[in-house]
Amino acid sequence: MRRDIIYGLESMGFEVEASHHEVAEGQHEINFEYDDALTTADNVATFRTVVRAIAAQHDYHATFMPKPIPKINGSGMHTHLSLFTEDGENAFHDGDDEFDLSDEARAFTAGILEHAPAITAVANPTVNSYKRLVPGYEAPVYVAWSDRNRSSLIRKPAARVPAASRVELRSPDPSCNPYLAIATMIHAGLNGIEQDLECPDPVRENIYEFDEETREEYGITTLPSNLGEAVDALEADEAIVDALGDHVSSKFVDAKRQEFEEYLVDVSQWELDRYLETF
């Protein structure tokens, strides 16, 4: 089925770079080639439609729900970001840097880290998203970056050529609106460059193994733990509100507050199973 999906995508012009079975049962990853921001957002929307359609031909349903099955890894939408000059040069590359990252790349990374809580509301826009963003299931929770550490929010992947120097934001999930999510990521990064934000040192240890005191020592904060907290962070962040525009941000906040309030007053099957006959 994954092979047929890849052939279908390639017939529509996608350059599929890699695919494999992921950690969780029934979980698959397909990576397609980068492009400009708008084209990439179009490709994400097309990708989801093609995957669902071909899965249906096999009598399966392909879900992009972040955490469809309890107690196993959820599904993310790892997003690789870089900036190119008008001359086609990768502005993120600096061969003299320990990590091959330019000053612009570091400031861009600092901007994403700075605005990560607000980005989370857009990149992780459902109450289910926060069932994925918990420690222990390979999803990032801690606001930090690293060149080798998958417990951090941002990872600097290995790059064999200058054009491949980039940063990978690991928190977004595939339930997001790719147009809005990518806009917030880019805006946050550019804000970091404009404000000349200083990028913290990378954290190479496994942050999941840190206690609270150690995280405080490293200055590591956490992403919002639920949709309500994320929406609060979005409303308080002028840069990310500006990325969305007044109309979209206002409507988005209203819709997500309603969704979270409906979730809070609902009673889940888990609660019924646990409490109904106990009390």
* Domain spans in the chain, listed from the N-terminal domain onward: 1-62, 68-275
Would you place residue 57 in the very low, low, confident or very high pLDDT band (cuts 50, 70, 90)?
A: very high
pLDDT tens-place string over residues 222-255: 999 999 999 999 999 999 999 999 999 999 999 9
Would you place residue 134 in the very low, low, confident or very high pLDDT band (cuts 50, 70, 90)?
A: confident
Nearest to 99 by CA among 158, 173, 29: 158
Torsions phi, psi for 79 (to 5 deg): -120, 125
Nearest to 206 by CA among 128, 146, 266, 265: 146
Would you place residue 186 in the very low, low, confident or very high pLDDT band (cuts 50, 70, 90)?
A: very high
Scored b (16 or more CB within 10 A) or e, 147-159 reads bebebbbbbbeeb
Q: Which CATH class is domain 68-275?
A: alpha beta
Length of the chain: 279
Distances (CA, A) of 57 to 11, 28, 60: 17, 17, 7
Residue 168 tokens, joined = 């990978």
Collect all residues with Cβ–Cβ distance below 8 Å to 92 and sequence separation of at least 6: 82, 83, 101, 102, 104, 105, 108, 165, 166, 167
Collect all residues with Cβ–Cβ distance below 8 Å to 112 and sequence separation of at least 6: 81, 119, 153, 154, 167, 169, 185, 188, 189, 192
What is the model's pLDDT at position 111?
A: 97
Average pLDDT of the chain, as a whole number: 93
Beta-strand (E) ranges in 53-166? 79-81, 142-146, 152-155
Q: Count CA atoms within 13 Å of residue 27 on its CB side.
A: 16
* Percent of the chain clearing pLDDT 90 (strictly above): 78
pLDDT at 138 over 80: no
Cβ pair 155, 262 in contact under 8 A: no
What is the model's pLDDT at position 168?
A: 95
Collect all residues with Cβ–Cβ distance below 8 Å to 93 and sequence separation of at least 6: 100, 101, 102, 105, 159, 162, 163, 165
CA distance 168 to 207: 17
What is the model's pLDDT at position 152?
A: 86
First to last CA, the chain: 47
Give the helix/strand (H/E) hosting 29.
strand 28-32
What is the model's pLDDT at position 203?
A: 87
Averaged pLDDT for residues 61-67: 96
Would you place residue 155 in the very low, low, confident or very high pLDDT band (cuts 50, 70, 90)?
A: very high
> For residues 52 and 151, which has the higher predicted lDDT (pLDDT)?
52
